[in-house]
Amino acid sequence: MTPQIVYRKCNESSQTIPPRWHGQALALGWHGQALALTGLGASEKRFSRGRGRVPSPRGTGLQPVRHNVFAALLATVFLSLSTPALAVTHLRRGDTPPPIALSTLDDQPFTIESHRRRVVVLLFGELYHARTLEACRIVDAIRSDPRIDEVDPDCVLIAAQQAEREALRTAARDAGVTMPVLHDRDRNVFAVYRVSVLPSVVVLDRAGRVVHAAAGLSASFREVLTDAILLAGEKLAADQFERTLHPASGPAESESARRAARVTELGRQLSRGGMNDLAADKFREALTIEPTFAPARIALGRLALQRRQLAEAEKQFREALAVDPESPEPTLGLAYVQALRGGDELPKAEQQVRSLLARRPNDAEAHYLLGMIHEQSDRPKEAAASYRKAAELLFEQGAAR
C-alpha cells in the first residue's frame, strides 16, 4: 500500500494530502496541524508513535531506535529536494509579477498597480507560523535601518489562513505584527506566486518589476533582503547586490590544498560507490599532500563512524577541530561519537549540538542529531520538534537552490 500523509484540524475530519504535496506537508507541519501517516502496516501512526529506523544523514551510520513515521516523512523531504520545487524563485529580476487584488484585515484594498512608484516587499506566510513571525521581526528591523529611510518600502504580509478576519487581527496583534496583513483566503495569490515554502519574499521596484524573490528563512535573509530593498530603491548597484547574493570565497588556496581537495573529492566518489577501503586510501593520500587539510580528516572520521570505529572517528574529528576550532562538521562528528557511545556521553553530545546551534541555528543536520539524542533520552516530544525543524530546513534549502 502506498503511504499517505494525513492531516487533521481540531474538531474536523481527517483529510489525505495528495502525494505531490508530501514534502511541503512535512516541511511545514502542514501549517502546524496534526500530521499522521497511513499505509505503514498500521491504520494510522502519529509523530510520537511507531518503531523503526530513521535514515542517517551524510552516511554517518547512526540510527535511532524509534519513530518509523519520522523515517518515512524525512525520506519524503530528501526526495522532494531532488525535484523542482514550486516556489517564488521562478520569478526572475525584471519580471512583471502576477497581479494582486486583495484587502487588508481592515478592509483596505491593495493592488500592485496602486503601489507603483513605491518599493514593495511582499512577505508570504502565516500568523501561526514561527518562522514567518521571525521574518516579520526581521523586516521591522530592516525598516528601522537608517540606510532604508530614503527608500521607505511598503511591506505587507500575505496570509492564507482559513479564519475570520477578527481572529486574524487578534493573532497579528498578539504576535506583534506591525505591517499590513493581506488575506488571501482562497489561496489564489499563493497559487500564482507558487508559494510552497514559508516564509517567502518578493521585492518589487518602483516600476512594479521583480528585483528579488526567495523562499525560506536563510541565515543571510536579513542581509540579502536589506540589499534587495536598496537595489529596488536605486541606492545600491546591481553588481554589489550580486556580491551579497554570492559572496566571494576566502583567500586563494595553495596548490597543495587544491590537489588535496581533488583527491578528497575522488575519495568521496569512491565512498558513494561503496568502495570505502579505496576511499580511505584517497583521504589518507590527501593528508600526505596537505597534512592540515581538514575535509580529508572529516571524511575519514565519517568513514570510521560508519564502521563503528569510535576511537578512530574521535581522533580524526579532534584533529580537524585543531585546524579549525569553529568548523561545524567535526563538532557534529564528535557529537555523533558521543551519541553512539550513549549512557553518560549523551549529555555531552547534547551540549555539543546545542553549542553549535547557538552559532548556526539553521543547521539541519544539527537539529536532526538533536532529535536523535532526545529520542535516545526518551523525550519523544522534543525529538519530534527537532526532527520537524530539520525537515523544514532541508526543504527550504532545497527550494532555494
Does 250 reside within a domain? no
* Domain residue limits at 307: 255-400
Q: Do 44 and 149 share a structural domain?
A: no
245, 267, 287 - which closes a domain: 245
Q: Do 77 and 93 share a structural domain?
A: no
Asked whether 387 and 368 are in contact (CB, 8 A), the reply is yes
Q: Do 102 and 53 share a structural domain?
A: no
198 pLDDT tier (thresholds 50, 70, 90): confident
Domain count of the fold of the chain = 3
**Predicted TM-score (pTM) of this structure:** 0.50
- SS3 percent helix, strand, coil of the chain, rounded to 5, is 55, 10, 35
Average pLDDT for 237-245? 90
81, 96, 125 - which closes a domain: 81
Flag whether pLDDT at 387 surpasses 70. yes
Q: Do 65 and 206 share a structural domain?
A: no
Does 13 reside within a domain? yes
Q: Do 209 and 103 share a structural domain?
A: yes
Q: Do 133 and 272 share a structural domain?
A: no
Radius of gyration of the chain (CA): 23
C-alpha cell of 277? 577501503
Q: Do 144 and 48 share a structural domain?
A: no
272 pLDDT tier (thresholds 50, 70, 90): confident
41, 62, 81 - which closes a domain: 81
Flag whether pLDDT at 301 surpasses 80. yes
Q: Do 93 and 63 share a structural domain?
A: no
**CATH code: domain of residue 327:** 1.25.40.10
Q: Do 241 and 270 share a structural domain?
A: no
d(CA 298, CA 261): 12
Does 370 reside within a domain? yes
**CATH code: domain of residue 110:** 3.40.30.10
Cis ω before 199 (30° cut-off from 0):
yes
Q: Do 94 and 74 share a structural domain?
A: no
Flag whether pLDDT at 90 surpasses 90. no
